[in-house]
Amino acid sequence: MSALPRPGRRRRRRYRLPFRPRLVIFAKAPVAGSVKSRLARQLGVALATRFARQCAQALLARVAFDRRWETIIAATPYAQHGGRFWPAGVGRCAQGPGDLGERMQRIMAGQPPGPLVIVGTDIPAVRAAHIAEAFRALGRHDVVFGPAGDGGYWLVGLRRRPRVPKAFRGVRWSSPHALADTLDNLRDRKVSFIAVLDDVDDARDFIATAGTFGRRVLPR
C-alpha cells in the first residue's frame, strides 16, 4: 500500500518551456587579412586581427554559457566552423553562402522551433542582460531589434511563429538604410526595440571603444 502524502505538502510540478530560446552568434574566424578590412586599412592588419579575436572571445565568455538560452556559433568560412578559435561546449554550424541577409534567413529557417536571436561579434558593449531583454521582448512581439547608431542593427530576433517571415529580402547592407529596409519587410509584425549599441568598423569606432573591447566583465 503506497504512503499517503503528508498534509500541507504538495508535490512540485516541473514545467518545461515549449520552445528553447536560441542565441546564434555570427562569427568570422579571426584570421589575419580576412577580418575587419576597413579597420585593417586604417590601423594595420595585426591590430584589426587582435581586435576581432579579443572581441569575439570576450563576447562568448559573457553570453555563450548562460543557461537561459542555448548558444550556437554560426561560423564562416565553412572550413573554420569547427576550428580552434571557438570554445568547446558551444554548438556550431556553418553560415553557408550568400549575402548577410541570405545567411541570416537560412539560420532563422533552419534551426528547431522557438525564439531565435542573432548577434555579431564586433559590438564590444553587448551583455547577457541585453540578450535576456531581447528574449523577453519576443514573448510579446514577433520581432526584436537592437538598433545601431549608423542606421543598421547589432541584434535581430524573431519569434518564428506561426512561420518564419522573409525579413531580410532586398536589404541594403552596410548602409544607413539597413534597419529601415528590414522593417519594411516586417510591416505586418509586432516589433520591439532594445538598447542602441554600436559596432566597430573604423579607427574612430576603435578609439571610442578601446576601454571596453576584450573585457569579459564590462564596467557599469
The residues facing 143 across adjacent strands are: 158, 191
**17 or 95: whose pLDDT is higher?**
95
pLDDT, averaged across the chain: 86
Question: Looking at the domain assignment, is residue 213 inside a domain?
Answer: no
Question: Looking at the domain assignment, is residue 10 inside a domain?
Answer: no
**78 or 99: whose pLDDT is higher?**
99
Question: Looking at the domain assignment, is residue 17 inside a domain?
Answer: no
User: pLDDT by residue (tens digit) across 96-152?
Assistant: 999 999 999 999 999 999 999 999 998 999 999 999 999 999 999 999 999 999 999
Query: How many whole angstroms separate alpha carbon 99 and alpha carbon 139?
Result: 29
Task: Provide the residue range defining the domain that includes 122.
Answer: 22-208
Kindly give the pairing relationship between strand 153-158 and strand 116-119. antiparallel
- pLDDT above 80: residue 10: no
pLDDT at 4: 46
Question: Looking at the domain assignment, is residue 46 inside a domain?
Answer: yes
Which of 106, 102, 101, 153 has its CA nearest to residue 93?
106
Question: Looking at the domain assignment, is residue 151 inside a domain?
Answer: yes
Question: Looking at the domain assignment, is residue 2 inside a domain?
Answer: no
Query: How many whole angstroms separate alpha carbon 178 and alpha carbon 47?
Result: 28
The Cβ of residue 97 has, within 10 Å, a number of other Cβ atoms equal to 10
pLDDT at 140: 96
Query: How many whole angstroms separate alpha carbon 25 and alpha carbon 28?
Result: 10
- pLDDT above 70: residue 3: no
Number of folded domains that form the chain? 1
Task: State the angle between helix axes of 128-137 and 45-63 in degrees (0 to 180), rounded to the nearest 10.
Answer: 60
User: pLDDT by residue (tens digit) across 18-35?
Assistant: 578 999 999 988 888 878
Which of 49, 27, 181 has its CA nearest to residue 118?
27
Domain CATH for 185: 3.90.550.10
User: pLDDT by residue (tens digit) across 148-166?
Assistant: 999 999 999 999 988 999 9
Question: Looking at the domain assignment, is residue 218 inside a domain?
Answer: no
Residue 167's Cβ-count burial label (10 Å; 0-12, 13-18, 19+) is buried
Confidence of residue 14 (pLDDT cuts 50, 70, 90): very low
Question: Looking at the domain assignment, is residue 8 inside a domain?
Answer: no
